[in-house]
Structure 1
Amino acid sequence: MIISKVDFLIRTHLDQQTLEIWIQEEWLVPENADAEPVFSEEDLARANLIRDLQQDMGVNNEGVGVILNLLDQIHGLRRALSGKLQPPS
Structure 2
Amino acid sequence: MNKKEFLTSSGLQVQTLEIWLEQRWLIPQKTSAGIQFSDIDVARARLIQELKNDLGANDEGIDVILHLMDQLHGMRRALKQLRKDLQER
- Specify if TM > 0.5: yes
RMSD: 1.2
Report the Cα offset of residue 72 of structure 1: 0.2
> Are residues 1:51 and 2:37 paired?
no
Q: What stretches of structure 2 of length at least 5 have no aligned partner?
A: none
| Structural mapping, 1:27-66, within 5 Å | 27-34=25-32, 36-66=34-64
Q: Secondary structure at the match of 1:68?
A: helix
Misfit runs of 4+, over 2 Å: 33-36
* Separation in 1, partners of 2:33, 2:22: 16
Displacement of 1:36 in angstroms is 2.4
Q: Give the share of equivalent positions with the same residue, in percent.
A: 46
Deviations 1:27-56 (A, max 9, x none): 000112236211011111100000000011
Question: 2:71 maps to which residue?
Answer: 73
* Equivalent residue in structure 1 for 2:9, among 8, 11, 26: 11
CA deviations on 1:1-46 (whole Å, 9 max, x unpaired) are xx11101001111111100110100100011223621101111110
Give unmatched runs, 5+ long, in structure 1: none
**Partner Cα separation in structure 1 for residue 18 and residue 61 of structure 2:** 19
Q: Helix, strand or coil: the match of 1:58?
A: coil
